[in-house]
Amino acid sequence: MKKAIRHILLAAISIIAATATISATELHIIPEPSYIDLEAEGYYEVTAKTRLVVNDEAWNPAERFSEYMMEYFNTDKPMRMGKRGKGIKIRIDSCVPYEGYELTSSEEGVLIIGGSEAGIFYGLQTLRQIIVTRNGKVPYGFIADEPSLAYRGVHLDVARHFFGVEDVKRYIDIIAAHKVNRLHWHLTDDQGWRIEIKRYPELTEKGSMRKETLIGHGLRPEWWDGKPYGGYYTQEQIRDVVDYAAKRYITIIPEIEMPGHAQAALHALPWLGCEEQEVDVWTMWGVTPEVMCAGKESTYEFLENVLMEVLELFPSELIHIGGDECPKDRWKECEHCQAKIKAEGLGGEEQLQGYLVARIEKFLNQHGRKMIGWDEILDGGVTPTATVMSWRGIEGGIYAAQRGNEVVMTPMKLCYFNFYQTESREGEGLHIGGHIPFELVYSWDPFEGLNPEERKFIIGAQCNMWSEYIKDMETLEHMLLPRLAAMSEVQWATERRDENSIRQRMESMRKFYDACGWRYAPYYFEGRK
């Protein structure tokens, strides 16, 4: 009953917020909270000496907040933490929505109540923004907030260009500040295999290194750099990153590409291919015809063995199997694939891929996990239990939702942050192509084309960062920010975005980025689209 009453009250104050004399826009928080009610004057000042009053159940988010404040106040002394006293009080109450929080500021201090540790963490991220952008002064008032979407994702491709552990952790810190809760980690592709698999050491010994890298657009010899390039994560490093993310309430979803985008694996283990021919780790971008053989049982044994080690490293319920851009030419010529099609009574090569995907999903389900894949997994037929990541547009997501599949929307023309940020491209350097300005991201409706019944199958939205032309952390941050702020409002505040206030709030967010030392692109702030 208590929980029901609280939900009714939050719904009521959300309606009142529309006519409140002091609105969320004046506090300039991103993503925008559900409700803010500020008093006319007065503030509580947070300093490096402010005490954190917290019970054991919320100790981790409090520790993370202390680390952020140490950085902001430029001190090597963590904030004092204890179970009694005045200052910033933190507690969990199951009557608050699970990822939601309530923040109250008064002359007595700041009180944050979260529905979970994650809710506390998000409330502290809001408090952090206020402290940084208002010089430690937290206005007296009340904030109630919760996210619109359960899955709030950001993707990182480390196969085409490799990012070390410290860079990935910095990336995690950036997305955590935007209340993101999923990191889709793209670990294998044609251009490199980046995860240690102990059963197949050749995957990293051979498959993690390519001879050179394409640095231009096209196929002219002078557009390759002529330099060997590689890198991979040990299983110990993977565990470290997964733990680091978990302490910031981000679940890492690993992607192991199959059956296409596998030329690095084929270089390491030629017997994975239809003809077992030797191929190099690919030095180009795009789609190669070299794919895993879907007709040989040894391929399925390999995939299951790899996934067993992946499952030990990643607690995520969702495991990404890729499934995209898989040419079928090799399968048409392969006696093993044609024999499998005949033996299983399949209608052709598309259904052969569907057969592979279904077998892998069954394997994951047997081990307590769920499969997620790019929307091509729909082409060969897919079970209603698979989660679909719709990237070729919104049509795949709509089709999947109509079938009852859960969907993460991430259409390329709106969510690929490796695309240019301005139409002129002036000063942006060389990138893959396309054009996605901040404003386009902000105006995106992830529920477009869906009726109310279908909308419930859209569990989230995600932006993707493919690294063909993103070779260092500075460029990565430049491409991510400030567009991630627009995406965070799509994910967290889907129905309450305000195009009239976003530019003013982004000026405040820019101050936050500066304080954190994050290297964002200037184009949006310059008025360039």
Catalytic residue numbers, as ranges: 189, 261, 325
CA angle 167, 59, 100 (to 5 degrees): 80
Contacts of 442 (CB under 8 A, 6+ apart): 486, 489, 490, 497, 499, 502
Other Cβ atoms within 10 Å of 251 Cβ, number: 18
464's CB contacts (< 8 A; 6+ apart) are: 155, 157, 184, 391, 410, 412, 415, 416, 417, 418
Q: Residue 320's beta-bridge partner residues?
A: 255, 372
| C-alpha R_g of the chain | 24
Residue 20 has, within 13 A of its CA and on its CB side, a CA count of: 22
Q: Transcribe 146-184 into DSSP letters.
A: --S-SEEEEEEE-SSS---HHHHHHHHHHHHHTT--EEE
The whole-angstrom separation of Cα 8 and Cα 199 is 54
Q: How far apart are CA 525 and CA 482, in angstroms?
A: 9
Question: Under a CB-based contact definition with an 8 Å cutoff, are residues 446 and 439 in contact?
Answer: no
CA distances 22 to 25, 41, 94, 129, Å, are 8, 11, 29, 18
90, 92, 102, 178, 454 from 114: Cα distances, Å: 8, 5, 6, 17, 30
Whether the Cβ atoms of residue 255 and residue 186 lie closer than 8 Å to each other: yes
- Cβ-count burial of 495 within 10 angstroms (0-12 exposed, 13-18 middle, 19+ buried)? exposed
The answer to whether 139 touches 22, Cβ cutoff 8 Å, is no
3-state SS of 301-314 is HHHHHHHHHHHHHC
